[in-house]
Chain A
């Protein structure tokens, strides 16, 4: 059996997806990037192989993607996270129809990608230089409110009052707003809901800038696990969004699909030549 790997080395975490020649996800893992990301990536990859009882030779082709893609020399090739995300999202959303818009929130950026009928990247927009409204921002918020990041969704759903207004998605300014609200005895749930809305508004603006929103809108990246943020984005976009089962690994999965495609394509080339 031949397997293919996609390794997404992001600013916050490393995601690995292993697929077989039928595009089925065989296994996946997520671990923190840390400072020694090359070492950590290798370790995570080896651990995954071991867990699956595989040898390095069982993996026919590896594509790396994400911010650290070029520095991971063990990969056969690398591809930008936009292309990888587009291909992965199209495939995981295939049952829902044609994914035409992808909203991806990562550790330090927000991307909106629009795809054409055939799944090619038509347009994409990203946040500018700073990490406002990204995964980092959510982490900071959780720390300020003394809750865990994965509790943010539950807190949001618990809120009964109107979400509080947070004007800034800038981590530094939002922090002082949050501290101000806490000092005024405001509830954590309402603050968290407010934060989710402030991110969602920004995402909606970015999405409209990217082009017309139709067919399936898919939301992925780690923060898509946060049900509160999903609700806020759905309300701001005024439509349902599709969140894949494992939203963090869509891009790694896409890179694995490209590895598969490239491998088959290269074989074609050899045969035709």
Chain B
């Protein structure tokens, strides 16, 4: 009986998931003149979300949550990292059955996904690594343990300012490297780490090139497409992802040379920050650009925070390299689970300036207290600099679409009116 019910639930959820993905893709593709190279990414998501399993085949999988899990070490241990953080409302609803109504949709959807797919994938996910970032992710460690996943809690300090915090994190990452060898059965050697760092560095360099191209005025690329490219990194094989991004860079470069404008020429330039847009929940990015704005930069953990920084090490020793990897995941981190997090304020002001942003849109998922609470500080520093900010609290449910579109449109309009007055 129980098994039968589960099978039915899986079936229905898969239909919901495919519908959700289809709808998001339809809206993503409804914009004029998408770069041809985007087809790879549209097709990839279409494929992954309409098939039974979205896991890469044939390799050991280490599922990760949060951007602080070092990819390089997982690659060096001969496994494939797979970012589990889910953006699916279908999974969020499964999660809501056993998680608090006020928990954040990222955690709820991710746990929901792992709960319903337990029998589907079962032993395919070799381990789930969760850094001790926010309280909800920490508690998810226990929940997933109860669902009989092999869960690894990667201990992380709540600050990055002190030497003690950095030392603690380095030790934690070193221990993780040792434990990874147990999980995968592959010894982590100096050569393997070096190779893994080199590959990830290549990936970040590609990301940065695309990121930099968005500084152009007019902006040659929609933010919704950029976010999809970085989202693809969650689930794609790094060796297929890189050539696809290279093609994107070529095409966007050409467009920039031709002074191509993805949106309207005077479209308000938006910097997006806050809770991460994760496919299929691209609600806010799509709304922003449907309303006539263009996202020229983002400060979110599903995009720039995920791929902007690379590892730099001086000595070729294993110890130094692992420490350098650890540093890469703590020093530039601007997750609001850190206290203090003034670095995020600095970074936002810097980005707003570099990308000539006309305004900031701050998305907070209801239930994510760290983002909700930091909103105040960010609003204040932006106001001081005369940069308008819109704060939107939302979740994965499509219900608030009407309300949100009015709010986002009004914000974009207010920027347009300001710009218009300036031009006259």
Contacts and interface: CB of A to CB of B under 8 A. Distances in A.
Chain B associates with chain A: yes
A268 B406 contact: no
A111 to B, nearest CB: 9
Nearest to B405: A80
A79 interface: yes
Contacts of A121: 410-411, 413-414
Contact of A120 (B402, B403, B409, B414): B414
Contact of B417 (A120, A122, A128, A129): A120
B413 A126 contact: no
A67 interface: yes
A195 to B, nearest CB: 24
A81 B413 CA distance: 11
Contacts of A173: none
Interface residues of A, number: 17
B385 interface: no
A166 interface: no
A155 interface: no
Contact of B403 (A118, A122, A129, A268): A129
A79 B413 contact: yes
Contacts of A67: 402
B413 A128 contact: no
Nearest to A79: B413
Interface in A193-230: none
B400 A80 contact: no
A126 B418 contact: no
A67 B403 CA distance: 10
Contacts of B57: none
Contacts of A129: 399-400, 403
Residue from A67, A109, A120 with most neighbouring chain B CB atoms (10 Å): A120
A83 B410 contact: yes
A126 B407 CA distance: 8
Residue from A81, A83, A129 with most neighbouring chain B CB atoms (10 Å): A83
Interface string A245-265: 000000000000000000001
Given A120-B417, A268-B424, A82 B410 contact: yes
Contact of A82 (B388, B407, B420): B407
A97 B410 CA distance: 24
Given A83-B417, A265-B420, A124 B399 contact: no
B363 to A, nearest CB: 16
Contacts of B410: 80-83, 121, 124
Given A124-B407, A126-B406, A83 B399 contact: no
Contact of A83 (B388, B400, B413, B424): B413
A247 to B, nearest CB: 20
A182 to B, nearest CB: 33
Residue from A67, A80, A109, A118 with most neighbouring chain B CB atoms (10 Å): A80
Contacts of A82: 406-407, 409-410, 413
Interface in A117-138: 118, 120-122, 124, 126, 128-129
A83 B403 contact: no
A258 to B, nearest CB: 9
A122 B359 CA distance: 12
Interface of B: 388, 399-400, 402-403, 406-407, 409-411, 413-414, 417-418, 420-421, 424
14 contacts: A80-B410, A80-B413, A81-B406, A82-B407, A82-B409, A82-B410, A83-B417, A120-B417, A121-B410, A121-B413, A124-B410, A126-B403, A128-B403, A268-B424
Interface of A: 67, 79-83, 109, 118, 120-122, 124, 126, 128-129, 265, 268
